[in-house]
Structures are given as structure tokens and as C-alpha cells.
Amino acid sequence: MVEVNQLKEEISKRSRIIDRAISELLPQKEPDGLYKATRHLLKAGGKRLRPVMSLIVAEALGEDYEKILPAAVAIETIHNFTLIHDDIMDRDEMRRGVKTVHVLWGEPTAILAGDTLFAEAFYLLTFCDVESENLVKASRMLADVCVKICEGQFLDMSFEKREMVSEEEYIEMVTKKTSVLIAASCAIPAVLFGEKEEIVNALWDFGINCGIGFQIHDDVLDLVGKDKTGKDWGSDLIEGKKTLIAIKAFRDGNIPKIFGKRRASPEEIEEAVRMLKEKGAIDYASSKAEEFVEKGKKRLEVLPDSEAKKLLIGIADYLIKREY
């Protein structure tokens, strides 16, 4: 098992590699207004967990991650494209501790910024130093992932118009909206290096299950991570998001008064969070997140033991224990 401080240092070390690659591969360009908006969230930082996982997977496969560094940046680029559009649709005003793109530059420019990042991701992918056949397979996988992300976002929005959503429907939504990109982060390096299908599928499954756990924990943090996440506290409750916490609360007849009301005072949010804690909805979600991550970790048995494999297991645990 990797100690927390060591894990954070290993993540930070590779995160700095990703940051340097982003500066080199995604420079500021003209027109200035568009690219300031396009680079805004990228420059605001973030954990870079997805591209970091790509580098560590390459290491676990015994390969040189430098050859697929553009793919790792492409995955982070896709992630930021989704965040910009997600913030527009959710009307969120804060992300990573800074104002969101549409708040600073308006919705039309924010939409263009997201579209630009989407296109740049596939452009970057072509610079990987691998066999062209593998590059085609990776491009196909990433394109399919982007389609699934849009499907997941649509499901998420459609759930707001429905009174009830099942746990199974929620899992399908988060699998598409969140998990598939984490799965791609883990599987695409194997695709690019021409690994066997068994390895690719195992890494994909690892990412899918860890991604579901990650999103469930993210929903928990929306309620308990006040002043830590850099996002609007309690926004899921106010917007009426059908998270696993909300689904459990509905099932047990413990619906917070502010659910879906669009506006609420800090005191009202605090009262709602307290109730969800006392009634067990938050603990239920946390337990489910752990179940998915444990399932994902078992899929890494196909990889030989290595320090990189230990790091992947450590990151899987970190995804559901982080405080922001």
C-alpha cells in the first residue's frame, strides 16, 4: 500500500509533467479573447488525475509515457471541454476556485472555447509516437467516449424533469457522463502501445468502476466539502440533481425542503445536509463508492506487480477519500 503523502507526491510529480506539456502543446494564440477563455480552466489547475493515470498506466505496462504524452494532454483537454459546457448548462459560477468561463466571457464565447478544446484534443492525439493502426483505434475509442459523455449529460439534465430516478438509471448516467473518460485515461495507453484486448478491457473496467466511485464521492463532497471544492456549495440539492444521495433520500421519504428550489440560504443548505447525514443517505452513497472502487481494483490483477500498479491502486482509493 502506498502512503498518502507518497501518493500525493507521485501524483504531483506527474501533474507537473502534464502542466509543462499543456503549456507546450496548448499555447496561447490569436484571437486573444477566444484563447483566454479556452485556456482559463486549464490554467486554473485541477488535479490532472486523468492524464496522470495515463502516464502511470504506461509505466505499469513497462512503456515510455513520453510517447503517449500528447494523448494524456488530449484527455485533459476533453475533460476541460466538458467542464465549460457543463457549467453553462448548470449555471454554475465557480470552478476550481475561479469564476467559470461563461461568467467571465459570456455564453457564446464559452461554447466556442469548449468546441475549440474538443477539436484540439483529436489534433493532439495524432502526435503520439506509436503505430498508426493503434492511433486509429485510440481515436475511435476517444470519439466514442465523447458521444457517451454527451449521452450522460443529456440523461443528467432529463432526470431533473422527472420526479423519480432509479439507482440503476443513476449508475448508467454517471458511467457515461464521468466514468468513460476515466476509463479512457486508463485504457487508451494500452491501445496505443498495442496491448492485448484482455489488458485493454481490464484497464477499461478498472477506470469505469473507479469513475463511478469518483462521481458518487464527488456528489458527497458537494454537500460535505464546504469551502474545499472550489465549487458552489450544495448546488446539487438546490438544482434538484438526482444524485445517489437524493435517490436514497427519496426512497426513504427524507426529501430536503430546498431540493430543486434553485435558491437557498447557507443555513438552509446546512440544515438539509445535517438531515441527510442523520438519515444515512450520505453514508449509503459513500459505501457504494467504496464497493465500486474495490471492484475496479480487482481488474488490475492482469498487470504484473510494480510500483506503478501500486500507485494505480492508491489513486483508486484516493478517488473516494479526497476532500476536494
How high is the pLDDT of residue 227? 62
How high is the pLDDT of residue 66? 98
Give a three-class secondary structure readout of the chain.
Answer: CCCHHHHHHHHHHHHHHHHHHHHHHCCCCCCHHHHHHHHHHHHCCCCCHHHHHHHHHHHHCCCCHHHHHHHHHHHHHHHHHHHHHHHHHHCCCEECCEECHHHHHCHHHHHHHHHHHHHHHHHHHCCCCCCHHHHHHHHHHHHHHHHHHHHHHHHHHHHCCCCCCCHHHHHHHHHHHHHHHHHHHHHHHHHHCCCCHHHHHHHHHHHHHHHHHHHHHHHHHHHHCCCCCCCCCCHHHHHCCCCHHHHHHHHHCCCCCCCCCCCCCHHHHHHHHHHHHHCCHHHHHHHHHHHHHHHHHHHHHHCCCCHHHHHHHHHHHHHCCCCC
How high is the pLDDT of residue 231? 59
Tell me whether residue 270 is exposed, middle or buried, using C-beta atoms within 10 angstroms of its C-beta: 0 to 12, 13 to 18, 19 or more: middle
Task: List the grid coordinates of 248.
Answer: 436514497
Residue entry with cell 496491448: 195
Cα distance between residue 101 and residue 93, in whole Å? 9
How high is the pLDDT of residue 70? 98
Task: List the grid coordinates of 297.
Answer: 481494483
pLDDT digit string (tens) for the chain, length 324 residues: 789 899 999 999 999 999 999 999 999 999 999 999 999 999 998 889 999 999 999 999 999 999 999 999 999 999 999 999 999 998 889 898 899 999 999 999 999 999 999 999 999 999 999 999 999 999 999 999 999 999 999 999 999 889 899 999 999 999 999 999 999 999 999 999 999 999 999 999 999 999 999 999 999 998 987 765 555 788 889 988 999 999 999 999 998 999 988 889 999 999 999 999 999 999 999 999 999 999 999 999 999 999 999 999 999 999 999 887
